[in-house]
Amino acid sequence: MLILEDIHTHYGKIEALHGVSVEINEGEIVTLIGANGAGKTTLLMTVCGSPQASAGRVVFEGRDITKEPTSQIMRSGIAIVPEGRRIFSGLTVKENLHMGGFFNTKSEIRESQEHVYELFPRLKERESQRAGTMSGGEQQMLAIGRALMSKPRLIILDEPSLGLAPLIIKQIFEIIGKLRDDGMTVFLVEQNAHQALNLADRGYVLETGRIRLHDTGANLLVNPQVREAYLGG
């Protein structure tokens, strides 16, 4: 569904990604784990076209989107939950969700809003509350809900567990699993390697701009190198 071929990305003169190839098939959860500064977020941003890859190809559903502008990419069935949630804190929960469905018709918005409220009943309770006044976990739910509003076929999550309590993280990961069961493709970037690998069908390990390992989630969980570097022995 999404294919990254030998991606090189530069920030000015510095090359952050040295030829990364990742493949995500329809209906699976693929996770990308790696330490700080490995280039995880850079890889996601490259998919979104900001910054654009200096070499290599990004192909989504058979279409080359490497050189497309960000706004175009984000309207073509990909949604991203950015790192640090980035909800519109001055807007209410409902308005945040409606922003997510900016390019959809009213009836589509109504439909996806119902769907989001089903997934996160908490958001319905908070419907007319200002988003910035909610707890971190609720804000993360809102960020995911907002991304779902555009009815994406692929959802990219950048560290959804960042700064959340273990119990909330568990809830969020359950939701991610539910999204896959509903037929959505998920690309999950995490520092929280244990939980991410547990959930994922396949995983990639990124290290200083290169893919070090690639295997199924279960195999990576027991891989001694991964255990030592990311799971604490």
Partner 1 sequence: MATSNVRHALFCAIVTIVISYPILGLNLEAEGINIVLTGTDATTIVAIACAALIVFLFQLFRDSVMGKLGAVSDLNPLTGRKPMEQDKRAKLESWVLTGLVVVALFWPFFSSRGAVDLATLVLIYVILALGLNVVVGLAGLLDLGYVAFYAVGAYTFALLSQYYGISFWMALPLGALLAGLFGLLLGFPVLRLRGDYLAIVTLGFGEIIRILLNNWTNVTGGPNGIGGIPDPTLFGMEFGRRVKEEGNTSFHETFGIAYSGEHKVIFLYLIALVLAIITALIIRRLMKMPVGRAWEALREDEIAARSLGLSRTAVKLSAFTIGAFFAGFAGTIFASKQGFISPESFVFLESAIILAIVVLGGMGSQIGVILAAIAVTILPELAREFSEYRMLIFGAAMVLMMIWRPQGLVPMRRLHITLKTQE
Q: Smallest distance from the beta carbon of 17 to partner 1, in angstroms?
A: 19
Q: Which of 30, 109, 188, 206 binds partner 1 (CB under 8 A)?
A: 109
Angle (CA) 61 173 131, round 5°: 90
Return d(Cα 189, Cα 2) in angstroms, integer: 15
Q: In whole angstroms, how close is the CB of 114 to partner 1 at the nearest point?
A: 9
Is residue 133 near partner 1 by the rule CB under 8 A? Answer: no
Please tell me whether residue 82 binds partner 1 under the rule CB under 8 A: yes
Reference 53, options 116, 6, 114, 99; nearest CA is: 6
Return the closest-CA partner of residue 176 out of 225, 143, 208, 213: 143
Nearer to partner 1, 20 or 109 (CB): 109
Question: How many residues touch partner 1 (CB under 8 A)?
Answer: 32
Pick the stretch among 4-12, 27-35, 99-107, 204-212 that binds partner 1 (CB under 8 A).
99-107
Tell whether residue 129 is a contact of partner 1 (CB under 8 A): no
Q: How far apart are CA 127 and CA 167, in angstroms?
A: 23
- Give burial (CB, 10 Å; 0-12/13-18/19+) of 121: exposed
Least distance to partner 1, CB of residue 219, Å: 32
Sign of the C-alpha dihedral, residues 58, 62, 187, 109? positive
The reply to whether 225 sits near partner 1 by the rule CB under 8 A is no
Contacts with partner 1 by CB under 8 A lie at 48, 50, 69-75, 79-80, 82, 86-92, 95, 98-100, 102-103, 106, 109-110, 113, 146-147, 150
